[in-house]
Amino acid sequence: MGRLFYVQVIWGEDLQEKAIDQWTREIPVVAARGEITDTNGVVLASNDDTYTVFVRKKAVKDMGALCSALSGTLSLNYDYVYKRLTETVSSEITVKKQVKKEAVNALLKYGFDGVYYSRDNSRVYPYNDFLTQVLGFTSADGKGQSGLELYYDKYLKGIDGEILYETDIVGVEIDGGKASYIPATSGLNLKLTIDYEIQQLCEAAMSEAMTIHNAKSAEMLVLDPNSGAIRALAIKPSYNLNEISRSDTSLLYSLSRNRLLSDVYEPGSTFKILTAAADIEEYLNGNEKAFSPTHVFNSSRYRYIDGQKVKCWSNHANGKHSNLNLQGGLNNSCNPIFVDIAMSLGKETMYKYIELFNYGRTTGVDFTGEAQGMILPVSAVQNVDLARIAFGQTIAVSGLQLAAATAAAINGGKYYAPYFAEEIYSSGGIIAERTEPKMKNRVISEKASSILSDMLEGVVRDGSGKKAYIEGYRVAGKTGTAQKYENGVIAAGKYVASFVGYFPANAPKYLALVIIDEPQGEYYGSTVAAPYAKQVFEGIIDLKNMQPAV
């Protein structure tokens, strides 16, 4: 009785599974992968119905005829098919995946025994080379391998089903046997914060930048500074998601890498936004070491820090850098002014703001492989290091870090974690998850943010950002030009030109970061990067029918 109880109750379920496995054969039913859409429902990734062709060789009656039909219909080499079906040890052999429906219909007409079919789906990207490094791609088996396809794979992939056929001991289907069908559960759909129309503008702008400036790469990010929602992200060079070359893995890795999130660079003068924010906030808080907005700085081109000369990018000719206050320092991007601020505030205070603005750590974006940036430990920072950090050298950040930090500086002082996924929902419209804006911390006060934003508007109106100016619209921003380093030394003639800007300045809705790597000829952010922000902002104004500022 004890043995009977053990076999029937404790061991019973396991024995039933083994029995079913012995007298049935299963054909997988692959779940339909969830779609990916933009914020307005434009489909960015979908599926094409394709099939996997299986052969159970012990059920085949005429192997030669079958191999001939398979090779001809599926465009396969006859010798390859014959060898695979006759020499492979497995009783069930996968002949080919992602077979079009037309080919399956042609095979069905032959009526061969031992040939089976299952749906496997092929991923399709309707716009080819579009949002490439964000969407990512899947493997031949439909599993996410990069980008959002990888990050949200557990939601998108669904649950596979199967069809069970009754067979004899050698796997031949029994005449009159019953088939059992376990349906697949389709994957959930993913709605992004991306706006298809704004993405189009950025894709076109970065392609143009690559052509005109013969650059190594061109990157652009647009986000909502009041929520962290990413509206567009374009990187060139790129590739067609429907024609992925998997033979050159190093090239595929390079082109599919989301450099705005995963790579770091010295930001140059765009980082002066943080230094200015720190000074304004400390001044409002009564810190005697901070400078007032009206303070006039020493007009010398040089500052000597512990015996080392730190200079301005400009030669200070024609008096352009004379009698400058903080507004003038931002307009002219004068390095010594920001050196003075950092040296006066001290490294503890400067590092307090670096941490508040979340540099040196990930932003929390929903994406795999985000970089933390490179920041010297405060204990290791020398005075000359601090002087250079003040104007964006001796520090490395990701593009997304810079954009999110700038958004916090000008939106009233609130740092929002950037994000791609707006909703995860079923084909029936049931929402499984909805992403709400996540404020991580406050970086500066609303008053300091307002003062800083007015100054950055002045940079576009009167200073180095003039090529981003749009008549009638309040555009603000900051340019940046950084030299590149190779093997620890400055690489001659290699620069990164950048611009971070937003509008309307008094109530920001769109913030854009443009990075042009190694432009040929002109290399200043003011002349190379800023015009593309203007181009995209003008496009947004037309698309959204935005009215001029009153």
Please identify every residue annotated as catalytic.
Answer: 269
Nearest of 163, 144, 160 to residue 152 by alpha carbon: 144
Rounded-to-integer distance, Cα 550 and Cα 543, Å:
20
**Per-residue DSSP letter, 40:** T
Q: How does DSSP classify residue 78? A: H
Q: What is the SS3 assignment for 351?
A: helix
**Contact (CB, 8 A) for 463 and 297:** no
Residue 275 has which token pair?
Answer: 């230094």
Instruction: Identify the CA nearest to 398 among candidates 360, 454, 428, 425.
Output: 360
Which of 253, 209, 269, 213 minimizes the C-alpha distance to 234?
209
3-state secondary structure 109-167: CCCCCCEEEEECCEEECCCCCCCHHHHCCECCCCCECCHHHHHCHHHHCCECEEEEEEE
Residue with tokens 């090239």: 251
Question: What is the token pair recorded at 492?
Answer: 């001659």
Instruction: Please give the order of strands across the beta sheet that includes 115-119.
Output: 92-100, 50-56, 115-119
Distant-in-sequence, close-in-space partners of 329: CB < 8 Å, separation ≥ 6? 272, 276, 297, 337, 338
Q: Is the distance from CB of 357 to CB of 273 less than 8 angstroms?
A: no
User: Given the structure tokens 């929520």, which residue do they identify?
Assistant: 227
Q: Which of 448, 439, 398 is nearest to 419 (CA)?
A: 439
